[in-house]
Structure 1
Amino acid sequence: MEDNALIKIKRGYLNEDFRFFHLKDKKAEEHAFHYHDFNKIVIFISGNVTYAIEGKYYKLRPWDILFISSKEVHKPIIDSSEYYERIIIWVDSSFLEHQSTDESDLRSCFYLEVKEKSNLFRLTAENLNIVKETLYSLEKAIRDNEFGSKVLQNAYFIQLIVYLNRFMLKTKLNREEKDVQYDERIVNILAYVNENLSGDLSVEWIASKFYINRYYLMHNFKSETGYTLHNYILQKRLAKAAELIKKGVQASSVSEQCGFKDYSGFVRAFKKNFGLSPREYYKAIKDLQQHYGKKDIVEYPFRE
């Protein structure tokens, strides 16, 4: 029997090594903050779009590339009066890991984005031509149903990832401040929260650590990110908890590792967010794994 919670888990389930979308539309649609269990590449082609990612707002130019790592909270802010064209690629991290070598980790582009705290990358004219050609070949292969089409798709996708890693490792990520708006203190607080989910993340502690008035912190965090500090921390802890539960870690240990003060409070928060208890969630994920033969990769709304 499928209830609403299980249907939500199945929606966005990536049962492939990667998934490729080439989209062009004009919709008056308000997007909510959300996060994924997979890495995501957004290649912006045209339109009037600002992408909000973990407290930073990127004003996009044609052929800008965004690297969004798993569990990074994000949403596009779209001017619906113009056509929005983009290529979006969902990427299974385990697939990249299996295709990597000791000398060439294909996940480097996402690691570098996290390290540099910048999701935006701009190509040189020469490198852009290479990427365009590879994307054209990849999209053509995806539409092909002839012998070896899946092998060819994977080959072009790996080629694209190799090129993007090469270009990123040789070039600094975007530092053009006029196209990136953010409060540096809030971005630093976001980074601290993500690195210390098991520790004390009370408003008082964070305000003291970063020498910010607690009321100023709460107001500015909401203003800059679109969500409260409390809710951001809760959602990040729950996202980490879901990841650990999928790996078979006992719920009591998960509660402690994710910074929840008591186990019953953790279970209540988990069930409210995912619609299933930790035990039910683990079983549902295993059922999906057995059905699709892949690990679960899901899109979750970031609850306000």
Structure 2
Amino acid sequence: MSMVILLKYIAKNINFGYNMQCGENGGARMNMSYVSPFDVRQVMQENDFEIFHRLDRASGSIEPHSHDFFEIFFPRTEGIEYAVEGQRYRLSPGMVVMVPPGETHFTRVSVPGLEVERFILWLDTGFVESLTAMLPRLRNLMKDGLKGRHLIVPDAETYELMIELLFSLLHEKKLNDVDSASLSRLVVAQLLIHMSRVLSSVPGAMNERTGQRYRDVMQVYDYISAHLKEPMTVTSLAEMFFFDKNTLTRKFKHVTGMTPGECIRRKRLDAAYAMITRGAGMAETCRECGFADYSAFYRAFRNAYGVSPSECEKSINNEQ
């Protein structure tokens, strides 16, 4: 039986009524026992995937960051803004945001104290590769097709099916019996297939970008991302792109959530962390990521991650 046929069979036979009711509009209504508290943690603690269902009045603000796994974000209420690589989206229920590994992103709540509901799904890259081994179109999408395509807007029926799949994952997470891991893999694969269908049906750049009015800022952002090895300051960037220094800082922070200086530092540190995980030496990492010397690299890395570069390397080697 092929993977796709198996997934269709399971979709017809899984009981998605796990403590759910249908609302007046036919949509899934939450089970409060699945809701997890607000947490600023951005490191996976499970091997394959983690799922969170959150409903809170927290600030909802996560500082700009990146990580080495996929993040899929499902808003269930208005009032959430999501920024990825300088593109900012004002989200509504029915939208989905997908962030590939290594891309800087953050969330904001438009009204302080507003109660917001959302689902967050984290997927390990190796786990995704194993799921897509028998699904060529999905494999190509996850590997190359997401660049610049973060926003996914399925039709209402598909979106509600996705939410039901998320509730199924939450149920298996809570149940955690001998079959939960296998069933969860199949449910995640089905969810990704639905997302692949939506993306494949919309040609070209289907994102609603922040807008062309911020294209000048995005040029600066793209330049920083592509030239981490080279010396850069806010002053030099302002001169290069014909900005007043203060204007650049103000506009850049509005669009990306960071000042240009913070962006340079964040991008260099993320690149350094990625190189260390791939086994690169400290001297090479320091040089390729644009740090003036090892002491500057050491201080910045320890301040950001709480451990020294060598301690990080040792921890990664112990996990392998």
Q: Select the residue among 177, 186, 189 that pairs with 1:155.
A: 186
Please list, as runs of the form range in 1=range in 2, the aligned pairs for 1:39-50 lying within 5 A after superposition. 39-50=70-81
Larger RCO of the pair (alpha carbons < 8 Å, separation 6+):
1
Q: Select the residue among 275, 283, 286 that pairs with 2:314.
A: 283
Percent identity over the alignment? 27
Structure 1 pair 96–258 and aligned structure 2 pair: CA distance change class (3 A): same
1:238, distance to aligned residue in structure 2 (A): 1.0
Whole-Å separation in 1 of the counterparts to 2:69 and 2:298: 24
Kindly provide the amino acid, as one letter, of the partner of residue 95 in structure 2: D
RMSD (CA atoms):
2.9
3-state SS, counterpart of residue 32 of structure 1 = strand
Structure 1 residue aligned with 2:6: none
Please list, as runs of the form range in 1=range in 2, the aligned pairs for 1:82-161 lying within 5 A after superposition. 82-101=114-133, 103-106=136-139, 108-109=141-142, 111-114=144-147, 116=148, 118-161=149-192
Whole-Å separation in 2 of the counterparts to 1:82 and 1:230: 31
1:68 counterpart = 2:99: yes
- Structure 2 gap ranges (5+): 1-40
Structure 1 residue aligned with 2:47: 16
3-state SS, counterpart of residue 89 of structure 1 = strand
**1:42·1:87 contact (CA, 8 Å) conserved in 2?**
yes
**1:207·1:217 contact (CA, 8 Å) conserved in 2?**
yes
**1:48·1:60 contact (CA, 8 Å) conserved in 2?**
yes
The two structures have a TM-score, normalised by structure 1, of 0.78
1:235, distance to aligned residue in structure 2 (A): 1.4
Whole-Å separation in 1 of the counterparts to 2:281 and 2:251: 37
Structure 1 residue aligned with 2:258: 227
**1:58·1:180 contact (CA, 8 Å) conserved in 2?**
no
**1:121·1:168 contact (CA, 8 Å) conserved in 2?**
yes
Structure 1 pair 48–11 and aligned structure 2 pair: CA distance change class (3 A): closer
Whole-Å separation in 1 of the counterparts to 2:219 and 2:287: 24
**1:51·1:76 contact (CA, 8 Å) conserved in 2?**
yes
Structure 2 residue aligned with 1:3: none
**1:44·1:61 contact (CA, 8 Å) conserved in 2?**
yes
Structure 1 pair 108–209 and aligned structure 2 pair: CA distance change class (3 A): farther
Whole-Å separation in 2 of the counterparts to 1:161 and 1:190: 30
Deviation string 1:190-242 (CA, Å, 9 cap, x unpaired) is 12222222234344553454343444323422343332212211111111111
Please list, as runs of the form range in 1=range in 2, the aligned pairs for 1:247-258 lying within 5 A after superposition. 247-258=278-289
Structure 2 residue aligned with 1:33: 64
The count of residues paired between Structure 1 and Structure 2 equals 277
Kindly provide the amino acid, as one letter, of the partner of residue 183 in structure 1: Y
3-state SS, counterpart of residue 283 of structure 1 = helix
Deviation string 1:3-33 (CA, Å, 9 cap, x unpaired) is xxxxxxx973333211111222233555433
Q: Select the residue among 178, 199, 209 that pairs with 2:230.
A: 199
Whole-Å separation in 2 of the counterparts to 1:120 and 1:257: 32
Structure 2 residue aligned with 1:56: 87
Deviation string 1:155-178 (CA, Å, 9 cap, x unpaired) is 11111112212211222554446x
Deviation string 1:49-95 (CA, Å, 9 cap, x unpaired) is 12233333311111210112233333222235543111100111121
**2:268·2:289 contact (CA, 8 Å) conserved in 1?**
yes
Structure 1 pair 67–30 and aligned structure 2 pair: CA distance change class (3 A): closer
Whole-Å separation in 1 of the counterparts to 2:179 and 2:211: 42
Structure 2 residue aligned with 1:4: none
Structure 1 pair 266–137 and aligned structure 2 pair: CA distance change class (3 A): closer
Structure 1 pair 26–273 and aligned structure 2 pair: CA distance change class (3 A): closer
Whole-Å separation in 1 of the counterparts to 2:235 and 2:144: 31
